[in-house]
Amino acid sequence: MKTNETGRFLSVVNPATGEEIEKVPVSTPGEIDVTVGAARRGLEEWRGVSGLERAEVFHGISRVLRENADELAGIMTREGGKPYVENHDEVGWAAACFDYYGELARDSVGYLPAPIEPQQLALVVKEPVGVVACIVPWNYPLLLAAWKLAPALAAGNAVVLKPSEETPLATRRMAELIAGLPDGLLRVLYGAGDVGDALVRHPGVDMVAFTGSQATGKKVGRAAAERLIRANLELGGKDPFIVCDDVDVEVAAQGAVWAACLNAGQVCTSAERFYVMEGVAKDFVEASREHVESLNIGDPMDEQTDIGPLINAPGRAKVERHVGEALGRGAKLIAGGERWGEKGFYYKPTILTGVEPGTAVMSEETFGPVVPVQEVSSLDEAIEMANSVPYGLGANVYTRDFENMLRCMRGLRAGTVWINDPLTDNDAAPFGGQKGSGIGRELGREGLEAFQESKHVHIDPKVEKKEWWYPYGKGDGSGQRLM
């Protein structure tokens, strides 16, 4: 393989086997300079492209993603370990995001507020921020890239995209497939945190959009603050899942297991804490156990596989540490709690009961297929416990009672509250967190506005002296202006 000037490479490993797939050269400081410069030149050309033309480009991107879904899903499965079925869906979701923002690109130029004087015209013009650094995690490499790329480009910006060092291959292939953009408008850089840090600190970058851990997000936010550039930060969560005593426990248990074990629990909105009403807790745990033990663990390329591996050995070690601490402090193991297979980074879906609130598995992001259950005596107690951690990305509730739905809607401190339908995102609705789960929003009109600057333009067609100008001392009050 061709070396770069530093001789540094990313080793991309298949989590299902632990074997290396490919080495990818790390982007050098010189390449970062060239890439940002090319993005700025592409930005100037993109500014002159009409909203209708942008929409056509975006729909073309959507089509090419769908046409190559099999290939892209296969790449993501090999480098990230998420089951092929889930990755194929991810490609479709990414394509849908480009379709949505393609239409918004036709209707994002601004609006007309009421003017101060009858003969005047006031405009609010929406303009691009400039060159946006988009830093994307490994768990949904194409979808979370699309959530940034599509609105940033629709708003008229240029994008420099840095995928995770764990999963650069599908992102590289997506960038190769995308056509119709000015040269330089979308570029990809490769590397770990040092490359991301250099990108955020580059003087040619005007904004950063980041998804990742809270710890890394704080570093990104500090670097952006030092340069006084805008930062959109989605920093993960510790999402609660509340089960009321008025529901079909079988359905709630299946929804809970899916919300906890999708992508082996490696979703920023994974359900990671379960608060179940005392009257149905025993039945819920038993139904969850039966469902978990029916799931297929294995080769993520097999379309019959439900649960694939964790991303790497450190990720699995963290899950083991959280589960081990809970068991050491009196929790009861109902299912799982151990590795699976002789190779790869697999961990069996795990159910725990009697978990203390202060344990890591109930207070820190686990990012693994774990269902820790705590019984509660009331909905008020469940809401209080749900709000007790410094995260607020999402929250799930199962109830048939509309009053309970309203209480949860108003009482839960989370950016998204899912009631009876966990983890369902909507391109047309904003996504993001409260408290320590981040700053800003993706998706919806809010997601577009995150990448826009608002410019107020005030026009008075009459060139004449205003009565409220100097001098004030006329004594007749004519220099006063009523506001």
Which 8-state DSSP code applies to residue 26?
Answer: P
As annotated, the active-site residues are: 234, 268
DSSP string, 373-437: EEEESSHHHHHHHHTSSSEESEEEEE-S-HHHHHHHHHH--SSEEEESSTT---TTS-B--EETT
Pinpoint the residues of the chain covered by CATH 3.40.605.10: 9-235+451-457
Are the C-beta atoms of residues 131 and 43 closer than 8 Å to each other?
yes
Reported as a single tens digit per residue, the pLDDT across 14-45 is: 999 999 999 999 999 999 999 999 999 999 99
Mean predicted lDDT score pLDDT of the chain: 96
Say how many C-beta atoms besides its own lie within 10 A of residue 34's C-beta: 14
Stated as kind and residue range, the H or E segment containing 43 is: helix 29-47
pLDDT attached to residue 1: 30
Tokens matching residue 240: 């609660």
Are the C-beta atoms of residues 224 and 85 closer than 8 Å to each other?
no
In words, the CATH class of domain 9-235+451-457 is: alpha beta
pLDDT attached to residue 479: 52
* pLDDT band at residue 4 using 50, 70 and 90 as cut-offs: very low
Phi first, then psi: give them for residue 216, nearest 5 degrees.
-70, -35
Reported as a single tens digit per residue, the pLDDT across 305-354 is: 999 999 999 999 999 999 999 999 999 999 999 999 999 999 999 999 99
* pLDDT band at residue 107 using 50, 70 and 90 as cut-offs: confident
Pinpoint the residues of the chain covered by CATH 3.40.309.10: 239-419
Q: Does the pLDDT of residue 483 top 70, yes or no?
A: no
Are the C-beta atoms of residues 369 and 265 closer than 8 Å to each other?
yes
Reported as a single tens digit per residue, the pLDDT across 245-267 is: 999 999 999 999 999 999 999 99
pLDDT attached to residue 477: 54
Superfamily of domain 239-419: Aldehyde Dehydrogenase; Chain A, domain 2 (3.40.309.10)
